[in-house]
Amino acid sequence: MLTIRIIPCLDVKNNMVVKGKKFKNIKTLADPVELAKKYRDSGADELVFYDISATHEGRDIFLDTVRNIAKNIDIPFTVGGGIRTINDFTNALFAGADKISVNSAAVKNPELINEAANKFGNQCVVLSLDVKTVGNQWKIYVNGGRKNTGLDAIQWAIEGVQRGAGELVINAIDEDGIQSGYAIDLMQAIANVVNVPIIASGGAGKLEHFKDILTGDYVDGALAASVFHYNMIEIPTLKAYLAKNNINVRRI
């Protein structure tokens, strides 16, 4: 039986993993390959690496990091951040990424999703959505959560999948970094309208949050950063807890 996926997310700049709440006090944490190995050995099912450097030199350094990860890590990983063109897709895939996550650039140019899916297959195109509650609606934000695009999140999810996205990562930015639980209503609403895997992101703080979002089979995985980076939750403990709660996990 297909298992749910536990996915640590690593923000990378200049070949270092960083984690800072709202980017203000960015804190250098670790070597990406070393941290990735640690997560792989503790039972992570997949990893996500975001390039947060946002410069051309940063981009090149990041691709070296990706090559290094691909050499050393034998579980699947997604690369995102700064993916703007089909060329960026090509570079990251040929550096060894299994999937490429695209966000703002797809909002600006939705055809990028079609182009990438046609060229590389739907399975390696991940559409990442930054979603914020505005009134009684869910809206798509870009530029690191600063700019409201006015797009309705549900409609955008449907369109993204129609255009060829093979997986959605739904990042609830109201919940991001405050560790009060995943945005269950949002994830359910999107799961009801698409038939591709959905990864929930934003809000993980304790074991129960993972159980709450992973019970009921509508999301396929849960992504988190701080709780893993700061050792608040160990993956073997998390998986044992989920298994005890009848959630199908891969135990190693």
Residue 193 engages other proteins in binding (rule: CB under 8 A): no
What's the chain's Rg over C-alpha atoms? 17
CA dihedral (178, 234, 222, 37) positive or negative? positive
Q: Write out the H or E segment, with its range, that includes residue 53.
A: none
130 is catalytic: yes
Residue 251 engages other proteins in binding (rule: CB under 8 A): yes
User: Please, which residue, 101 or 104, has the CB nearer to other proteins?
Assistant: 101
Residue 87 engages other proteins in binding (rule: CB under 8 A): no
The length of the chain, given as a count of residues: 252
Residue 52 engages other proteins in binding (rule: CB under 8 A): no
> Shortest approach of other proteins to residue 163 CB, angstroms?
16
Q: Interhelix angle for 153-163 vs 184-191, to 10°? A: 40
| Residue 15 to residue 49: CA distance in whole angstroms | 11
Q: Of these residues, 88, 130, 176, 220, which one is catalytic?
A: 130
Both structure tokens of 40: 């792989």
Residue 71 engages other proteins in binding (rule: CB under 8 A): yes
> Shortest approach of other proteins to residue 5 CB, angstroms?
6
Give the residue, chosen from 120, 138, 141, 156, that forms a contact with other proteins under the rule CB under 8 A.
120
CA dihedral (39, 56, 107, 21) positive or negative? positive
Do residues 39 and 8 touch, judged by C-beta distance below 8 A?
yes
152 is catalytic: no
Beta bridge partners of 134: 137
Question: Which residues are within 8 A (CB) of 208 and not within 5 positions of it... i.e. 6 or more apart?
Answer: 181
User: Please, which residue, 108 or 251, has the CB nearer to other proteins?
Assistant: 251
Here's the x/- map for other proteins, 5-24, by CB under 8 A: it reads as: x-------------------
Beta bridge partners of 128: 169
Give the residue, chosen from 26, 29, 33, 75, that forms a contact with other proteins under the rule CB under 8 A.
75
Q: Of these residues, 11, 45, 51, 88, which one is catalytic?
A: 11
Contact positions vs other proteins (CB under 8 A): 1-3, 5, 40, 45, 70-72, 74-76, 93-94, 96, 98, 120-124, 166-167, 195-197, 220-221, 250-252
Q: So which residues are the catalytic ones?
A: 11, 130
